[in-house]
């Protein structure tokens, strides 16, 4: 029985990059967490310790920061594409590159009703995400872009049911026609191409997510996720697939009756674990091949 090296990649994870744009008196800020991963024929590095085919992870880090200056004027997707293309086109052993980016948004400080030119307050906890994968050169070049959001915490106090479910001898959960529904959503959407109005599409999709969550009467979190994905695809032709992961942040009505106090669905205990984890993919039946677009570098991707 032989022993062989399986799939492998390497890179520099979580480069924290902050770019301040000082061209005008009103400064702008871009706050990113950038991870790189290179793929190719690096077998001898593993089997023989031969590093002649390895572009150091430190070099990848330096490139990330350099490109924040030289390629940082456009959208975060364009920045990620520039990085991935650079590694594939300029390092001979590299056959593919994946760039994962988290963007942290900041709101301007308001003083006496006026936005400050160079002071901000961090927004959160939600984070905009981008994953770019580039493989091959010339006619064999393939490129994928996945946009997304994570840690989008949403809650509604009514308009959600959960009843008619399968039961067995261990079932103790009572059906309900009116419950609190809350989640910390991870949503990602795969684009058909790389020519997109990136900074216009993101807020539009985010708005679809939160509006659907709020207004769609939910018979189950599964149904809500499907409706979100369906509405995104109906509005945005440039999106071919949506993947979502939604932990059910349970809220249980607290027993105040033992104190002689009525509690008509008003006071809850918020349980952080264990939690139901609902995941779903909604896509077009004629969507182009996803290739390695969804292969993650780090574990949070769906």
The whole-number pLDDT of residue 298 equals 56
pLDDT for residue 150 is more than 70: yes
Q: How many CB atoms lie within 10 A of CB 40?
A: 21
Cα(108)–Cα(104) distance, integer angstroms: 13
Please name which of 130, 74, 77, 123 lies closest in space to residue 100, comparing C-alpha atoms.
130
Q: Determine what percent of the chain is predicted with pLDDT higher than 90.
A: 95
Active site residue 12: yes
Cα-Cα-Cα-Cα torsion 101, 236, 285, 194, nearest 10 degrees, comes to: -50
Residue-wise pLDDT for 192-229, tens only, equals: 999 999 999 999 999 999 999 999 999 999 999 999 99
Determine if residue 222 is labeled as part of a ligand binding site: yes
Cα(223)–Cα(44) distance, integer angstroms: 49
Architecture of domain 9-140: Roll (3.10)
End-to-end distance of the chain based on CA atoms, in angstroms? Answer: 34
Under CATH, what is the fold of the domain 148-302? Urate Oxidase (3.10.270)
**Residue intervals in the chain for CATH 3.10.270.10:** 9-140, 148-302
Q: Is 88 exposed, middle or buried (0-12, 13-18, 19+ CB in 10 A)?
A: buried
Q: Model pTM?
A: 0.92
The residue written with tokens 């009514």 in the block is 158
Confidence band of 295 (pLDDT split at 50, 70, 90) = confident
Cα(4)–Cα(53) distance, integer angstroms: 19
Residue-wise pLDDT for 53-87, tens only, equals: 999 999 999 999 999 999 999 999 999 999 999 99
Active site residue 251: no
Q: How many CB atoms lie within 10 A of CB 161?
A: 16
Question: Among 86, 150, 236, 250, which one carries the catalytic annotation?
Answer: 250
Determine if residue 170 is labeled as part of a ligand binding site: no
Q: How many CB atoms lie within 10 A of CB 284?
A: 13
* Alpha-helix runs per DSSP H in 135-267: 198-215, 221-235
The two three-digit tokens of residue 60, written as one number = 């990848």
Determine if residue 8 is labeled as part of a ligand binding site: no
pLDDT for residue 301 is more than 50: no
Question: Among 27, 57, 59, 281, which one carries the catalytic annotation?
Answer: 57
Determine if residue 57 is labeled as part of a ligand binding site: yes
| Distance from the Cα of residue 8 to its chain's centroid | 23
The residue written with tokens 């149904």 in the block is 223
3-state secondary structure of 264: coil
């Amino acid at each position: 029985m032989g022993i062989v090296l399986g799939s492998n990649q390497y890179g520099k994870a979580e480069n924290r990059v902050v770019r301040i744009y000082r061209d005008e008196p009103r400064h702008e800020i871009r706050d990113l967490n950038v991870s790189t991963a290179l793929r190719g024929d690096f077998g001898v590095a593993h089997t023989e310790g031969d590093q002649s085919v390895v572009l150091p992870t430190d070099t990848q880090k330096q490139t990330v920061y350099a490109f924040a200056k030289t390629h940082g004027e456009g959208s975060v997707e364009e920045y990620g594409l520039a990085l991935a293309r650079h590694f594939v086109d300029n390092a001979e052993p590299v056959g593919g590159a994946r760039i994962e980016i988290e963007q942290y948004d900041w709101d301007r400080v308001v003083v006496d009703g006026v936005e400050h030119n160079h002071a901000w307050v961090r927004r959160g906890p939600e984070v905009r995400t981008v994953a770019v994968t580039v493989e091959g050169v010339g006619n064999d070049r393939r490129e994928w872009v996945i946009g997304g959001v994570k840690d989008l915490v949403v809650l509604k106090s009514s308009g959600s049911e959960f009843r008619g479910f399968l039961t067995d001898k261990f079932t103790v959960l009572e059906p309900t026609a009116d419950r609190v529904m809350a989640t910390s959503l991870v949503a990602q959407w795969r684009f058909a191409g790389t020519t997109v109005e990136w900074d216009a599409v993101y807020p539009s999709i985010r708005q679809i997510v939160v509006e659907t969550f709020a207004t769609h009467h939910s018979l189950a979190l599964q149904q809500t996720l499907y409706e979100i994905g369906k509405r995104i695809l109906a509005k945005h032709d440039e999106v071919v697939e949506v993947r979502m992961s939604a932990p059910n942040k349970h809220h249980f009505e607290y027993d105040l009756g033992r104190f002689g106090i009525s509690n008509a669905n008003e006071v809850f205990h918020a349980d952080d674990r264990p939690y139901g984890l609902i995941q779903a993919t909604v896509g077009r039946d004629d969507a182009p091949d996803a290739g390695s677009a969804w292969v993650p570098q780090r574990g949070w991707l769906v």
